[in-house]
Chains A and B, each alone.
Chain A
Amino acid sequence: MPDNSVRFTVDGRELEGAAGEMLIAATDREGIYVPRFCYHPKLSVAANCRMCLVDVEGAPKPLPACATPVAEGMSVRTHSQRAISAQRATMEFLLINHPLDCPVCDQGGECELQDLAMGFGRDISRFSEGKRAVPDPDLGPLVSTDMTRCIHCTRCVRFGEEIAGVQELGATGRSEHMEITTWVKRSLRHELSGNVIDVCPVGALNNKPYRFTARAWEMTAHPTVAPHDCVGSALYAHVLRGRVRRIVPRENEAVNETWISDRDRFSCEGLYVGDRLEKPLVRRNGRLVETGWEEALAAAADGLAQLREEQGGQALGALVSPSATCEEGYLLKKLMHALGSANIDYRLRRRDFRGQQKEPPAPWLGMRFAEVESLDSLLMVGCDLRGEAPILAHRVRKAALSGARVSYLDLAEREYLHPIEKAIAAPPGDWADALARAAADSLSGQGCAVWLGGLALRHPACSELLEIAADLPAEVVSGRVSEGGNAAGLGLAGVLPFADIPNDASFSPGMDAGLMQRQAPGGMVLMGAEPEFDCAAGAEDALAEAQFILALNPWASDWMRQHAHVVLPTATYLETPGTFVNGQLDWQSFAAAAPPPGLARPAWKVLRALAGRLELEGFGYSSPDQALADLRRQADSRPDAGPASSGGSAVDSQAAEEERFAGLQLPMHSVDGLVRRSLPLQQAAAA
């Protein structure tokens, strides 16, 4: 304990705490239970629910534990007659206006009010007057409202002001007429606003798409990891009868604290929609028809083997979604290598690959997420952080509020919800100069960093930007906010055209994603990627030229229906075991939460079966853990830089690319197939 520690007793136990710390924080740490509604460790103290009243010796009345700082010699009783009767009285008041609709309330079974009513409530209400009823504002497609249930703890209001950075909800009116509302008709727009569902201690704010689909105690909770951004937020998937019903955050202080983005929470609504594949598809007489696995695997293997025979292994190529698991990426890379091809890449939207072999294998932030909060200065280039990694944007906001100087270099100014040092708007052709200048001007202090975001990585001279960032003085951390949930993991798994190439004269570094998307190899394997959305602009036409197209995807996109020869139905991240590596290089493994629908199978099993069909050796894995062990061994022994000869492709015309650069913005709710199919997210994006 530091010097400012104080000693006090709670229920006869000697405790130690920091002076100024609130009593409830100390009791929480020690596992002493104090009931509460409005207190939340991540929010400011409001002390308005009065549920946490405790008996402090010498105080004339019970004091709220959430707003009473600990002091030397203090003696507290949380279960004395006086404390209990104060808590019971508070409960009685709270229940005066609360409806008895627990049987139809989604919060039932996981409701703080319900739990505390069990502990502190009376059996019978002494209130015989009419209860109040409150109209429900429409907060958009994500959050449902039943405001008669609201107990005015104001957690949601404080969440908006303090965490999101934009107050969308407020408490209008007063006393009996107080209401939590937006007051004017509008939807919640902030990318973290779904968290009000979790902070709400009652059933007033709830998950709208999940409404009335399950009861909390019927579901099983499966820990998993979010796939949509480089944060890799910790999640629980709640599953009932083999279907994922909803996603809730899992606490992980080092990654997402207790928050998750709306994208991570509501993307699961895309799991079981219309074009989800339940059977393999094979093209026959120009039409894709449903088949069994035997037939589909045979068609896939034949297609690949035939091309290899006729044109050699180099005529095959593979594009991997940056949200594929490490194991999937590793197995596909191994399969391509075994077929004699090094044409494999996960950097699907990137345009410029020059100097790729000199870049660090894993695109990451260059620091731990927690370290972001203590930065002195930060420059973000082409980074829509709120859209790309909302949880990271929250960390940056915290840094900015505690004094970090945050600057942005982008095409235009965006809506930043924190104080900024500089917002530099520049046309793409000027970015390299502007980056060098801005880094010299705005980076100073103990901790400083440059991050290249999605737009910088899609820049026609991305390699120059990366080089400038890497050549900054050593004290400047150069990091990347990468696309997808596993760009770092796929980098470490060597899903790159120059990594781990067999030591064999016939092998040379392969085609990068840019090249494959301009001159497609004869046979293309697409894993988790839908060319019309997930690749660089124009790729869908070039890829359609391939003679044989094999897609491994949970859905059949329009492009696939038109062009693919075989589509093998695979599992989403919720239905496969796997590993993601996030932007701070945590290896996060997870198990499948639910079985994939129909005949769909996890991609690692599909790849294993495909390798078996092709009679390739070394694919006898009985679990993805074994593949993971292999890939980690390979990653550890890999030299830092790729072969010197493996500089990648550049864009054809810098000017033409710059012209259409603004069109390369990637809206927050368009990043991958699952997100694009989540109707609530699409409605929220359109609102």
Chain B
Amino acid sequence: MSDKTPLSSAALSAIRASAARFPAGRQRSAVLDALRLAQSENGGWLSVPLMDAVAEALDMPPIQVYEVATFYSMFEVRPVGRHCVSVCTNISCWLRGGEELLAHLEKRLSIGVGESTANGRIYLKKEEECLAACAGAPMMMVDHRYYEHVSAEDADRIIGELQR
């Protein structure tokens, strides 16, 4: 392990514990866990040094970590706003106004999907496919928390709290 790793010692030991749950020689299976830990520690995105540190901790080629990080939409590989907001536009939410909800947020925040607000508070993640909350459509997810039956006013209130 190099001296200057961008991972905290808490994250490192959590990564090791996660790797230990897999059979010997399969430690790289823990890469998703490790990236999730690393991302949450770093304000929601993964830098190259951070991914290199994960690669080193799990003894795998860095390119394989980049492959995983770019494959999954849960990982961000460039700086994004602090709070991650995603609005579902898949069929149930679409029928119940998901698209209008998304358009409303884009207008209010003056950003498009995939962009972050200038103050670095809010990141409007790319249009989400179904997040499995059809019974509560339209829905949005904020920092892994589900909000269901969301109206434009609800969204304004939720976003307003995040801006503080």
Contact = CB atoms under 8 A, between A and B. Distances in A.
Interface of A: 161, 166-174, 182-184
Given A166-B61, A167-B61, A184 B48 contact: yes
Given A161-B61, A170-B61, A170-B63, 9 more contacts: A167-B64, A168-B63, A170-B66, A174-B70, A174-B71, A182-B63, A183-B63, A184-B48, A184-B66
B78 to A, nearest CB: 12
B71 A167 contact: no
A184 B71 CA distance: 16
B67 interface: yes
27 contacts: A166-B61, A167-B61, A167-B63, A167-B64, A168-B61, A168-B63, A169-B63, A170-B61, A170-B63, A170-B64, A170-B66, A170-B67, A171-B67, A172-B66, A172-B67, A172-B70, A172-B71, A173-B70, A173-B71, A174-B71, A182-B63, A183-B63, A183-B66, A183-B70, A184-B48, A184-B62, A184-B66
- Max chain A C-beta neighbours (<10 A), residue from B48, B63, B66, B67: B63
A184 B64 CA distance: 12
Contacts of A183: 63, 66, 70
Query: Which 10 residue pairs across A and B have the least CB separation, nearest first?
Result: A170-B63, A172-B70, A183-B66, A167-B61, A170-B67, A173-B70, A174-B71, A167-B63, A172-B67, A172-B66
A461 B61 CA distance: 40
A41 to B, nearest CB: 24
A482 to B, nearest CB: 33
Contacts, number: 29
Contacts of A166: 61
Contacts of A161: 61
A333 to B, nearest CB: 50
A182 B71 CA distance: 15
Interface residues of B, number: 9
A78 B123 CA distance: 52
Interface of B (DSSP majority class): helix
A168 B63 CA distance: 7
Interface of A (DSSP majority class): loop
Contacts of B61: 161, 166-168, 170
A172 B66 CA distance: 7
Contacts of B71: 172-174
A166 B71 CA distance: 21
Contacts of B66: 170, 172, 183-184
A317 to B, nearest CB: 51
A310 to B, nearest CB: 65
Contacts of B62: 184
A184 B63 CA distance: 8
Nearest to A173: B70
A173 B64 CA distance: 11
B149 to A, nearest CB: 31
Contacts of A168: 61, 63
Contacts of A170: 61, 63-64, 66-67
A548 to B, nearest CB: 56
A173 B66 CA distance: 9
A183 B67 CA distance: 9
Contacts of A171: 67
Interface string B58-99: 000111101100110000000000000000000000000000
A166 B62 CA distance: 10
Nearest to A171: B67
B67 to A, nearest CB: 5
- Max chain B C-beta neighbours (<10 A), residue from A161, A168, A169, A184: A184
A670 B128 CA distance: 55
A171 B69 CA distance: 11
A175 B61 CA distance: 22
B68 to A, nearest CB: 9
A250 B141 CA distance: 58
A182 B52 CA distance: 13
Contacts of A169: 63
A674 to B, nearest CB: 33
Nearest to A172: B70
Interface string B103-122: 00000000000000000000
B73 to A, nearest CB: 9
A172 B71 CA distance: 6
A174 B71 CA distance: 5
